[in-house]
Amino acid sequence: MLHFIRNHAQGWIAWFIVGLISIPFALWGINSYLSGASSVVVAEVNGSPITQTELQTSLQQYRDRMRSVMGDQFDPAMFDNASVKKDVLDGLIDQRLLRDANQTLKQRISDAAVSQFIRSTPAFQRDGKFDSDYYGMVLARVGYTPAQYEAQLRADLLSQELTTNIQNSSIASVKLLNEALRLERQQRELAYGVVPIQRFVDKVNVDDDEVRQYYEDNVAAYTAPEQVKLNYIELSVDELAKGVQVNDDELKKFYADNQNQFVGPEQRRASHILVEGDDDAALEKIKAIQTRLENGEDFALLAKETSDDTGSAEKGGDLGFFGKDVMDPAFEEAAFALTNVGDVSEPVKTEFGYHLIKLTGIQKPEGKTFDQARDQVEKMYRRQQAESIFYDKAEQLANLSFENPDSLDVAAEALGLDIKTTESFTRTGTEAGITSNKKVIDAAFSEDVLKNDLNSAVIELSDNDLIVVHKNKHIPETVLPFESVSPAIKQQLVFDKARKLAQDEGESVVEKVKSSESPESLLTNWQAAEFYGRDAEKVSSQILQRAFTMPKPLSAPEYEGFSADNGNYVVIKLTAVKNGDIDDVTDEQKKALQQQLTSIYASAEVEAFIAQLRNDADIDIHQDALK
Average pLDDT over residues 295-301: 94
The SS3 assignment for 269 reads strand
**Residues 6+ positions from 271 with CB-CB distance below 8 Å:** 299, 300, 303, 312, 316, 317, 318, 319, 357, 358, 360
How crowded is residue 172: how many other Cβ atoms within 10 Å of its Cβ? Answer: 18
Residue 438 belongs to domain spanning: 226-247+371-476
Q: Count structural domains, the chain.
A: 4
Average pLDDT over residues 389-404: 92
Average pLDDT over residues 467-479: 94
Confidence at 115, pLDDT banded by 50, 70, 90 = confident
pTM over cut 0.85: no
Instruction: Indicate if the pLDDT at residue 3 is higher than 60.
Output: no
Q: Are residues 412 and 308 in the same domain?
A: no
Helices (H), 39-119: 52-70, 82-105, 111-119
Average pLDDT over residues 159-177: 83
Distance CA(566)–CA(609), nearest Å, equals 47
Instruction: Indicate if the pLDDT at residue 81 is higher than 80.
Output: no
- The rounded radius of gyration (Å) of the Cα atoms in the chain is 35
Q: Are residues 546 and 621 in the same domain?
A: no
**Residues 6+ positions from 110 with CB-CB distance below 8 Å:** 274, 308, 309, 310, 311, 312
Lowest model confidence (mean pLDDT) among 4-18, 125-139, 188-202, 376-390: 4-18
Q: Are residues 233 and 271 in the same domain?
A: no
- pLDDT of res. 76: 65
In a domain, 414, yes or no: yes
- pLDDT of res. 19: 31
Distance CA(546)–CA(573), nearest Å, equals 11
In a domain, 606, yes or no: no
For residues 369 and 439, which has the higher predicted lDDT (pLDDT)? 439
In a domain, 611, yes or no: no
Average pLDDT over residues 617-626: 82
- pLDDT of res. 24: 34
Find out whether 293 and 356 touch, Cβ atoms under 8 Å: yes
Q: What is the DSSP string of 404-467?
A: STT-SHHHHHHHT---EEPPPB-TT--SSSGGGSHHHHHHHTSIIIIIS--PPPPEEEETTEEE
Given 433, 461, 476, the domain boundary residue is: 476
Question: What share of the chain has pLDDT > 70, as a percent?
Answer: 89
Question: Would you give the DSSP letter of residue 193?
Answer: E
Strand pairing of 353-363 and 41-45? unpaired
Distance CA(454)–CA(408), nearest Å, equals 9
- pLDDT of res. 432: 87
Give the CATH number, domain containing residue 419. Answer: 3.10.50
DSSP H or E segment with residue 534? none
Distance CA(54)–CA(51), nearest Å, equals 5
pLDDT digits (tens, 9 = 90+) for 522-541: 999 999 999 999 999 999 99
The SS3 assignment for 215 reads helix
- Sort 296 into a burial class: Cβ within 10 Å, 0-12 / 13-18 / 19+: exposed
Distance CA(608)–CA(169), nearest Å, equals 13
Instruction: Indicate if the pLDDT at residue 283 is higher than 90.
Output: yes
Distance CA(30)–CA(18), nearest Å, equals 14
Q: Are residues 620 and 497 in the same domain?
A: no
Instruction: Indicate if the pLDDT at residue 298 is higher than 80.
Output: yes
- pLDDT of res. 466: 94
Q: Are residues 69 and 192 in the same domain?
A: no
- pLDDT of res. 335: 93
Distance CA(499)–CA(526), nearest Å, equals 19
Lowest model confidence (mean pLDDT) among 321-325, 557-561, 576-580: 321-325
Give how far the C-alpha of residue 54 lies from the chain's centroid of Cα atoms, to the nearest Å: 22
Question: Would you give the DSSP letter of residue 25?
Answer: P
Question: What share of the chain has pLDDT > 90, as a percent?
Answer: 46
Q: Residue 610 is which amino acid?
A: I
HSE, CB side, 13 Å, CA atoms: give it for residue 239. 14
> 239-243, 439-443, 499-503, 618-622 — which one is most confidently predicted on average?
499-503
The SS3 assignment for 525 reads coil
Q: Are residues 490 and 536 in the same domain?
A: yes
In a domain, 603, yes or no: no
What mean pLDDT, rounded, does the chain reach? 85
- pLDDT of res. 82: 79
Lowest model confidence (mean pLDDT) among 249-263, 316-330, 402-416: 249-263
Instruction: Indicate if the pLDDT at residue 272 is higher than 50.
Output: yes
Q: Residue 626 is which amino acid?
A: L
Q: Are residues 292 and 146 in the same domain?
A: no
**Residues 6+ positions from 552 with CB-CB distance below 8 Å:** 558, 577
In a domain, 28, yes or no: yes
Q: Are residues 241 and 377 in the same domain?
A: yes
For residues 473 and 66, which has the higher predicted lDDT (pLDDT)? 473
For residues 119 and 455, which has the higher predicted lDDT (pLDDT)? 455
Confidence at 453, pLDDT banded by 50, 70, 90 = very high
Distance CA(239)–CA(244), nearest Å, equals 9
Angle at 298 between CA 292 and CA 304, to 5 degrees: 95
Instruction: Indicate if the pLDDT at residue 12 is higher than 70.
Output: no
Instruction: Indicate if the pLDDT at residue 13 is higher than 50.
Output: no
- pLDDT of res. 505: 96
In a domain, 304, yes or no: yes
Find out whether 455 and 405 touch, Cβ atoms under 8 Å: yes
How crowded is residue 283: how many other Cβ atoms within 10 Å of its Cβ? Answer: 16
- pLDDT of res. 186: 93
Distance CA(502)–CA(520), nearest Å, equals 17
How crowded is residue 497: how many other Cβ atoms within 10 Å of its Cβ? Answer: 18
Given 332, 363, 394, the domain boundary residue is: 363
HSE, CB side, 13 Å, CA atoms: give it for residue 175. 0
In a domain, 402, yes or no: yes
Q: What is the DSSP string of 308-348?
A: S-HHHHTTTTEEEEE-TTSS-HHHHHHHHH--STT-BPPPE
Confidence at 251, pLDDT banded by 50, 70, 90 = confident
Buried b (16+ CB within 10 A) or exposed e, 388-411: eebeebbeebbebbeeeeeebeeb
Confidence at 11, pLDDT banded by 50, 70, 90 = very low
Give the CATH number, domain containing residue 291. Answer: 3.10.50.40
Q: Are residues 25 and 107 in the same domain?
A: yes
- pLDDT of res. 472: 95
- pLDDT of res. 148: 66
Give the CATH number, domain containing residue 143. Answer: 1.10.4030.10
Given 476, 499, 522, the domain boundary residue is: 476
Instruction: Indicate if the pLDDT at residue 141 is higher than 70.
Output: no
Instruction: Indicate if the pLDDT at residue 68 is higher than 60.
Output: yes
Q: What is the DSSP string of 285-310?
A: HHHHHHHHHHTT--HHHHHHHH-S-H
Lowest model confidence (mean pLDDT) among 13-17, 55-59, 379-383: 13-17
- Sort 275 into a burial class: Cβ within 10 Å, 0-12 / 13-18 / 19+: buried
How many residues are present in the chain? Answer: 627
Q: At what angle do helices 587-616 and 82-105 cross, to 10 degrees?
A: 90
Confidence at 425, pLDDT banded by 50, 70, 90 = very high
* Strand residues in 110-226 grouped as ranges (E): 125-126, 129-130, 187-195, 223-224
Instruction: Indicate if the pLDDT at residue 30 is higher than 50.
Output: no
Q: Are residues 147 and 39 in the same domain?
A: yes
Sign of the dihedral defined by the CA atoms of residues 69, 70, 75, 81, in that order: negative
For residues 111 and 404, which has the higher predicted lDDT (pLDDT)? 404
- pLDDT of res. 73: 66
In a domain, 609, yes or no: no
Average pLDDT over residues 175-197: 92
- pLDDT of res. 582: 85
Instruction: Indicate if the pLDDT at residue 51 is higher than 70.
Output: yes
Q: Are residues 88 and 143 in the same domain?
A: yes
Instruction: Indicate if the pLDDT at residue 26 is higher than 70.
Output: no
Q: Are residues 295 and 413 in the same domain?
A: no
